């Protein structure tokens, strides 16, 4: 059975690393959370790593810094509800 990982865990992982190309982030996510993990946020559920990455890129949480993608803004919490 695959694990379901909250997107904030991916953001925290990304904060610990230098910018990387998309494929390297996806490989790191698979290494850290498992290749069969699914991801969810407050906005969407049952996403693949690729879908989550594209969601973060589309909403500006990660941006292409030239040498790779990096965190632009955390977006963790502070959006009107608790994650507990």
Which residue in the block uniquely carries the two structure tokens 């850290």?
32
Can you give the pTM of this predicted structure? 0.83
Does residue 19 contact residue 68 with C-beta atoms inside 8 Å?
yes
Domain boundaries in the chain? 4-71
> Coil, strand, or helix at residue 24?
helix
**pLDDT per position as a tens digit, 15-67:** 999 999 999 999 999 999 999 999 999 989 999 999 999 999 999 999 999 99
Does residue 25 contact residue 53 with C-beta atoms inside 8 Å?
yes
Find, among 15, 46, 49, 54, the residue nearest to 34 by Cα: 49
């Amino acid at each position: 059975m695959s694990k379901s990982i909250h997107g904030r865990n991916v953001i925290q992982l990304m904060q610990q690393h230098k910018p990387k190309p998309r494929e390297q982030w996806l490989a790191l996510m698979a290494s850290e959370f498992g290749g069969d993990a699914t991801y969810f946020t407050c906005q969407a559920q049952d996403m693949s790593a690729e879908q989550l990455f594209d969601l973060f890129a589309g909403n500006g949480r990660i941006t292409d810094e030239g040498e790779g993608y990096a965190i632009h803004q955390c977006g963790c919490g502070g959006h009107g509800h608790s994650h507990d």
